[in-house]
């Protein structure tokens, strides 16, 4: 992921405006409330910070964490623009360290698909250590079906007024390798090309549950927004 999000980091939230941000964030807020989670948390893999901002607006004290400096720069800009006092820090879920334990952690929209299978244990162990006893950890993954049958060996493209992208995906044994090309329109009307690569790993629900259990979590799963598991699986975990 060394060059991932160097270009997309500036445009991620804008290009994902059809993902149902408002409904998704309300699902997080309602689930945290129903679980009786405390008010202090972290948003891991926060991207451009939509969910961080939504949680803060709902009365939570949340820090956004992401591995991409470009993502965090845009998150700060959007937070300032919307008058939300958000803190955003550079960090990796597989090495996560906080100054103090928190009540909850969320990792939304494929964050764990970027973690190789051999590093899941490290990721979950680090999150476990950062949570208070009884703390909540919520995250999702794109399902094996989605990555193998919808994303893998497929191409996507979109042409907007200010940016155009082409996205090629190659399915491998345990992952999808993604090649993206962006054409970003400048103020002079000329376009600048950017290229970057991503890798998303295919995780089974069973393997993730096993690793979470071994790391000290009680786990339940459900489909996206509590509905269908076909394309996205949500993991709702409690630190024992």
Q: pLDDT (tens digit, 9 = 90+) per residue, 85-129?
A: 999 999 999 999 999 999 999 999 999 999 999 999 999 999 999
Identify the band that residue 5 occupies on the pLDDT scale cut at 50, 70 and 90: confident
- Kindly state the helix (H) or strand (E) to which residue 55 belongs, with its residue range: helix 50-57
pLDDT > 80? residue 2: no
pLDDT > 60? residue 4: yes
Residue ranges of the alpha helices (H) in 107-225? 120-130, 144-145, 205-214
pLDDT of residue 240: 97
Of 110, 104, 102, which is closest to residue 141 (Cα–Cα)?
A: 110
Q: Which of 4-8, 214-218, 224-228 has the lowest mean pLDDT?
A: 4-8
Identify the band that residue 225 occupies on the pLDDT scale cut at 50, 70 and 90: very high
pLDDT > 90? residue 37: yes
* Per-position b or e across 107-130, b if 16+ CB within 10 A of its CB: bbbbbbbbbeeeebbbbbbbbbeb
Per-residue pLDDT averaged across 49-67, rounded?
98
Beta strand residue intervals within 21-74, DSSP E: 40-44, 61-66
Per-residue pLDDT averaged across 11-32, rounded?
96
Per-residue pLDDT averaged across 144-156, rounded?
98
Per-residue pLDDT averaged across 69-78, rounded?
96
Beta strand residue intervals within 112-214, DSSP E: 131-142, 155-159, 163-171, 175-185, 191-201
Cβ neighbours around 138 below 10 Å, total: 20
Q: Note the Cα 34 to chain centre separation in Å.
A: 22
Q: Which of 2-11, 87-96, 130-139, 208-217 has the lowest mean pLDDT?
A: 2-11
The reply to whether the predicted model has a pTM over 0.85 is yes
Of residues 86 and 148, more confidence is placed in 148
Burial of residue 231 (number of CB atoms within 10 Å: 0-12, 13-18, 19+): middle
State the average pLDDT for the chain.
96
Per-residue pLDDT averaged across 133-141, rounded?
98
């Amino acid at each position: 992921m060394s060059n991932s999000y160097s270009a997309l980091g500036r445009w991620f939230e804008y290009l994902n405006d059809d993902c149902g941000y408002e409904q998704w964030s309300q699902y997080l807020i309602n689930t945290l409330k129903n679980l009786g989670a405390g008010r202090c948390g972290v948003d891991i893999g926060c991207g451009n910070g939509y969910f961080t901002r939504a949680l803060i607006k709902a009365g939570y004290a949340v820090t956004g964490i992401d591995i991409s400096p470009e993502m965090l720069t845009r998150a700060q800009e959007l937070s300032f623009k919307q008058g939300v006092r958000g803190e955003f820090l550079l960090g990796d879920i597989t090495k996560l360290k906080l100054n103090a334990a928190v009540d909850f952690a969320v990792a939304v929209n494929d964050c764990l698909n970027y973690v190789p299978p051999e590093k899941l244990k490290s990721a979950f162990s680090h999150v476990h250590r950062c949570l208070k006893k009884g703390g909540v950890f919520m995250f999702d993954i794109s399902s094996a079906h989605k990555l193998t049958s919808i994303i893998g060996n497929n191409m996507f493209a979109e042409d907007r007024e200010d940016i155009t992208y082409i996205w090629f995906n190659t399915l491998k044994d345990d992952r999808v390798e993604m090649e993206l090309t962006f054409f970003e329109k400048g103020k002079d009307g000329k376009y600048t090309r950017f290229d970057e690569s991503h890798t998303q790993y295919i995780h089974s629900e069973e393997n993730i549950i096993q690793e979470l259990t071994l790391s000290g979590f009680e786990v339940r799963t459900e489909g996206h927004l509590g509905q269908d598991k076909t394309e996205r699986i949500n993991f709702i975990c409690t630190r024992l």
